[in-house]
Amino acid sequence: MKRHQAGFSLLEILIAFVIMAMGLAVLYESSGSSLSAVGEAEKQVRAIQLAQSVISLRSVVPSAGWNDQGALEDMSWQVSSAPYALSTPNNFQLAWKVHRVQVIVHWQGLNGERDYQLTTLLPEASTP
Residues 6+ apart with CB under 8 A from 109: 40, 43
* pTM (whole model) above 0.75: no
Geometric angle at alpha carbon 70, from 39 and 110, rounded to 5°: 25
Average pLDDT for 99-123: 93
Average pLDDT for 92-112: 86
Average pLDDT for 33-50: 87
Q: What is the DSSP string of 20-44?
A: HHHHHHHHHHHHHHHHHHHHHHHHH
Average pLDDT for 114-118: 95
What is the sign of the dihedral through the CA atoms of 113, 71, 77 and 50? positive
For residue 97, the model assigns a pLDDT of 86
CA 80 to each of CA 13, 20, 37, 99, 119: distance values in angstroms, whole numbers, following the listed order: 67, 56, 31, 10, 10
Query: CA 18 to CA 87: how far, in whole Å?
Result: 70
- Amino acid letter for position 101: V
- In this predicted structure, the answer to whether residue 53 has a pLDDT above a threshold of 60 is yes
